[in-house]
Amino acid sequence: MPKLKSHSGAKKRFTKTASGKWRHQRAYRRHLLTPMPKNKSHCVPGKNTLSDTEGKILSRFLPYS
C-alpha cells in the first residue's frame, strides 16, 4: 500500500491539540490591523477549534497527523 499524501493547504492552516482536536487561526488577525479601530481589533477572536464532524473530514486531508 503506498503512502498517502497530506493536503498542502491543510498542513499550513491546521494544527492538532494534545486532546486530539483541530485548531485554526481566524480571519482579520494577520495584517491591516493599524487602521482598524482598537475595540474591533481586540474583539476579533484569535484561534478556534473545529467541531468533531469537521475534524473527521480534516483527518482525511492529514492522514499522518
Answer whether residue 4 shows pLDDT above 90. yes
- pTM listed for this prediction: 0.77
CB 60 within 8 A of CB 28: no
Give the residue extent of every domain in the chain.
24-65
Does an H or E element contain 15, and which?
strand 14-16
Give pLDDT tens digits for 6-35.
Answer: 999 999 999 999 999 999 999 888 898 899
